[in-house]
Amino acid sequence: YGHKLPVLCLDCSSDGALLVSGSADKSAKIWGLDFGDCRRSLRAHDEAVTAVRFVRETHYFFSAGKDRAVKYWDADRFALLMVLEGHHAEVWSLDVSRDGGRVASCGRDRAIRVWQRTTEQLFVEEEAEARLEHV
């Protein structure tokens, strides 16, 4: 039901409906705050999840991990939308701008990375296929 290893981070959606927690067990869990139930457990990263943050006014969230990745998720569909790569070591923290247009992350590589949303369409199925090709 809960995490198998310590919880390292959490964030609540701006509407107060959901909470996401990240753990040393490599998972992110999405919790409903109405009944306190675990809606879904996601194998979020290949190593510990170090940061999670919702985009305001949405149920989209970002996660960061010791695997050097920042990931973008849809908490309503329990779907991975995109993987942002660029860090050369563990990612320790992240934050999302008020309008959701930028996400910033930092980590052990002593770098601050900022990603900006574009108007380019995102095709979730194509992103998933591209990730499978890299495996």
pLDDT tens profile 106-131: 999 999 999 998 877 666 566 656 65
What does pTM read for this prediction? Answer: 0.86
pLDDT tens profile 21-37: 999 999 999 999 999 99
Rounded CA-CA distance 31/21 in Å is 8
Task: Look at residue 7 and give its three-state secondary structure.
Answer: strand
Which residue in the block uniquely carries the two structure tokens 């920042």? 70
pLDDT tens profile 68-105: 999 999 999 999 999 999 999 999 999 999 999 999 99
Report, as an integer, the average pLDDT of 54-70.
97
Chain length of the chain = 135
